[in-house]
Chain A
Amino acid sequence: KQEVTQIPAALSVPEGENLVLNCSFTDSAIYNLQWFRQDPGKGLTSLLLIQSSQREQTSGRLNASLDKSSGRSTLYIAASQPGDSATYLCAVIGGGSEKLVFGKGTKLTVNP
Chain B
Amino acid sequence: GAGVSQSPRYKVTKRGQDVALRCDPISGHVSLYWYRQALGQGPEFLTYFNYEAQQDKSGLPNDRFSAERPEGSISTLTIQRTEQRDSAMYRCASSSPRTSGRRADTQYFGPGTRLTVL
Where the two chains meet, the residues of A that have a C-beta atom closer than 8 Å to any C-beta of B are: 4, 31-32, 34, 36, 41-46, 49, 51, 89, 91, 93, 97-105
Interface flags, B25-52, vs A, CB<8A=1, else 0: 0000001010100001111110010000
| Contact A49-B106, Cβ < 8 Å, known A43-B111, A98-B31, A98-B56 | yes
Q: How many A-B residue pairs have CB under 8 A?
A: 62
Closest to A101 in B: B45
Tell me if B45 and A93 are in contact (CB < 8 A).
Answer: no
> In the complex, which residues of chain A have a beta carbon less than 8 angstroms from the beta carbon of B108?
46
| Contact A102-B104, Cβ < 8 Å, known A42-B111, A43-B109, A43-B110 | no
Most buried by B among A31, A34, A97: A97
B17 at the A interface (CB under 8 A): no
B55 at the A interface (CB under 8 A): yes
* Interface of B: prevailing SS: loop
| Contact A4-B97, Cβ < 8 Å, known A31-B103, A42-B111 | no
Where the two chains meet, the residues of B that have a C-beta atom closer than 8 Å to any C-beta of A are: 3-4, 31, 33, 35, 40-45, 48, 55-56, 59, 91, 93, 97, 102-112
> In the complex, which residues of chain A have a beta carbon less than 8 angstroms from the beta carbon of B41?
104
Q: Can you list 18 residue pairs at the A/B interface with Cβ under 8 Å?
A: A4-B42, A42-B111, A43-B91, A43-B109, A44-B91, A44-B93, A44-B109, A46-B107, A46-B109, A49-B105, A93-B104, A98-B56, A100-B35, A100-B45, A100-B93, A101-B45, A102-B43, A103-B42
